[in-house]
Structure 1
């Protein structure tokens, strides 16, 4: 059950070497200071510090066991991550696809570029249009056991192969994953990178409406069977958070850190006061995350010169703030 109390966000090995030591630290030093724990990805993974999960049914052995997590859940509400956009290339699903190619039961889980685009495409215009996380087309060449080679969609690191969330086999995987998380005490699922999950021809493939709402509603209905709430995670302009809140989902207030820092550095409270009056209330406030402090999130809450001023003040104390707000 989610309480209106602080939630600690931590890797399984950040406060001690594993889940057992994490519980010892919480019980000894924090006790009643927090109500919940967001355990950043603790599943077996092949990259990106857990964000390339290979198996959602297991806990990485170096961290501990499901029993350790369930024990934490006896005292704290728990949030798990679900990377709904992608899965590890070492997952059983993708390995089966590489081995059996067109005969694989999981072939439709992945976005095959030659099937997504018409003949003679993608062209430069198509690739330029896509909202990317790297300076090249978000595709990866795959060599199959039958000797054939083709490209699949790959938004993030080389280990993270994108999923086709529109296909029945992927929808079944999503249902099974949520059910399994529920069986281990999950109260809240953070949907990591969900805004990339819908790919549609002739769009930028980022937060595509109305399709993104259909995806979220399908996931919400499944999670509701187990009384699990959703927290769709997105680092972008605060207007997108407002949209998510209007559909009655929890959000992160990723704009708050930058606005708070501006207020502290400038001595002016008007921007912070204005934001607190209009920011959604069904939210998790945050002053930092494992991704760092968002700048684009606060654009237009703070004027460009106020963002620049705050960033410059942060540079003075050694912060690594991206000078380009968004791709």
Structure 2
């Protein structure tokens, strides 16, 4: 393996001691064998996304509280993979400006608490590979001219040739930093406190490989590469998805697979669809990529009362190499990205979507284009608030819209992922936003454990209803092989604007499932003979367990059926 890595990385690190240094990164023994199924995922695989301190209790480490809550209060919901958002010590950006790679945030707990959290579940963690906080020791060493930090910070000697850089922020690209040599410009893609690293230095790769090894030693085997598309910078380019970035992704995947036989590498690239999929196409970069077009398209379909755009998108679902798949989701710790919807939603429909979200208390974030103009980059809104009706009747059909959105996430090829505040029916957190001024904080609600337990004990509360229904549906999904992440899908509704109809699994397979999902606020009718013309018998809805023996079926607003031929 060291020889393979050396050949792969020689174009980036031509130093003569490359092979010897790579050998130091590899384990002495072969990694544990892959799971007994020989697969990294199946139809029971589902992810819960949360911050370490989404649920808190006085005087307790946040990771211990989270462990107790998930085991005692949310244990009925089968979510076997837990993505704990950045937990290392950080100065800003809610964990994404890491200032110490060796210690956790003190109020989260320590490495022992992380290992305890891994009992009975698989953990997923972030490698924030593009940058570190300005308070990180590497940056402080850079300022004083000390190694290794002096060589690890990206500080270009020439500020010319960067006019075409594409990035998601309107802050300055270069930040002046006071150093032992005077003021020096350093690259800051995401803001002044997030200083970019120079991946042309082998020390950077070595440091992140060691961190990934520490993750694995404490129960992590799914690793998310945060903002990885920005990793390598070449002048006179957009500095996105450069060839050497792809080489580094390949190298990190090989290293992860050496550390754990069950390793899964995910790339987070919130960019137009084909750019995002490019990390899967070759079969040797990411195992999973985030399905970023899904949230804006699904949100637009629900709020416009028309699913024509999402049907047009679904009809050209990508064919991916075996062992690769998508991560499907509606909400996350970030907002709803709009760049992935470029070319998929017309300017007029996009404008209407932004207006409807603002009517529901959301905000719009912008990025700076190459010509200096601003364009919408992200919708900041809690998904539960986005599912509300018009101002006159906000609660009408809110739960139905919400559940329909989560059920589509479960029906598509790929691995479904769910954000904990979304499952807890958290609305827009305007008080926190008013304190911090960070628009993303609208969707980063924290919960007191005791208050949350009281809410879940109220069987009429949205959070309690969602918990029961999610446990029910995920349990059913885990028993249906047609929902394997790599099982085939056919779209049967390409021209419809009232419903999405999917066939999962092969038509002749007795385990095939037909997903029928209404996107209307009023009842709609479906001729069931359109699903499988050769089938003359009954249908069974696996969600409700009812048998349907009529040819025509009326669907209630936002109703969802998972049908199997009887």
**TM more than 0.5:** yes
CA distance in 2, matches of 1:153, 1:261: 35
Structure 2 partner of 1:30:
74
The normalised TM-score by structure 1 is 0.88
Gaps of 5+ in 1: none
- Tell me the distance in 2 between the aligned counterparts of 1:135 and 1:127: 15
Query: CA 1:269 to 1:262, structure 2 compared with 1: closer, same or farther past 3 Å?
Result: same
Q: Is residue 142 of structure 2 the alignment partner of residue 107 of structure 1?
A: no
Match of 1:242 among 269, 277, 280: 277
Match of 2:300 among 246, 262, 266: 262
- The Cα shift of 1:39 comes to 0.7
Task: Kindly provide the CA deviation profile for residues 38-65 of structure 1, in whole angstroms up to 9, marking residues without a partner as x.
Answer: 1111111111111111222221111112
1:131 aligned partner: 166
CA-atom RMSD in angstroms: 2.2
Matches within 5 A, 1:96-175: 96-99=141-144, 101=145, 103-114=146-157, 117=158, 122-123=159-160, 126-135=161-170, 137-144=172-179, 146=180, 148-175=182-209
Following the alignment from structure 1 to structure 2, what is the Cα–Cα distance between the partners of residues 237 and 300?
9
The structure 2 residue matched to 1:16, chosen from 41, 47, 56, is 56
Equivalent of 1:73 in 103, 118, 130:
118
Alpha-carbon shift at residue 136 of structure 1 (Å)? 5.3
With normalisation by structure 2, the TM-score equals 0.52
Check if 1:325 corresponds to 2:376.
Answer: yes
Against the structure 1 CA distance between its residues 149 and 303, is the aligned structure 2 distance closer, same or farther, given a 3 Å change threshold?
A: closer
Q: Which residue of 1 aligns with 2:15?
A: none
Is 1:224 the equivalent of 2:252?
Answer: no
1:266-292 deviations in Å (ceiling 9; x for gaps): 333333234334345711111111111
Equivalent pairs, count: 315
Specify the alignment match of 2:9 in structure 1.
none
On the 8 A contact 1:16/1:25 being kept in 2, the answer is no
| 57-66 vs 309-318, greater mean Cα deviation | 309-318
Stretch of structure 1 that moved more, 129-138 or 82-91: 129-138
More off after superposition, 78-87 vs 1-10: 1-10
Give the aligned partner of residue 96 of structure 2. Answer: 51
- Tell me how far apart the structure 1 counterparts of residues 224 and 315 of structure 2 sit (CA, whole Å): 25
Query: Which residue in 1 is equivalent to 2:218?
Result: 184
Structure 1 residues 67, 48: CA separation in 2 closer, same or farther (over 3 Å shift)?
Answer: same
Q: Which of 125, 130, 153 is the aligned partner of 1:85? A: 130
- Shift, 1:9, TM fit: 1.1
Higher CA-based Rg: 2
Aligned-pair distance for 1:67? 1.6
Shift in CA distance, 186/279, structure 1 to aligned 2, threshold 3 Å: farther
Measured in 2, the distance between the counterparts of 1:243 and 1:32 equals: 37
The structure with more strand, counted as a fraction of residues: 2
Partner of 2:246: 213
Contact 1:188 1:231 in 2 (8 A): yes
Does structure 1 conserve the Cα–Cα contact (< 8 Å) formed by 2:163 and 2:236? no
1:203 & 1:107 partners in 2: Cα distance? 26
Secondary structure at the aligned position of 2:290 is classed as: strand
1:292 to 328, 331, 335: 335
Q: Contact conserved, 2:162 with 2:236, CA < 8 A, in 1?
A: no
Q: CA contact under 8 A between 2:171 and 2:190: conserved in structure 1?
A: no
CA distance in 1, matches of 2:304, 2:143: 56
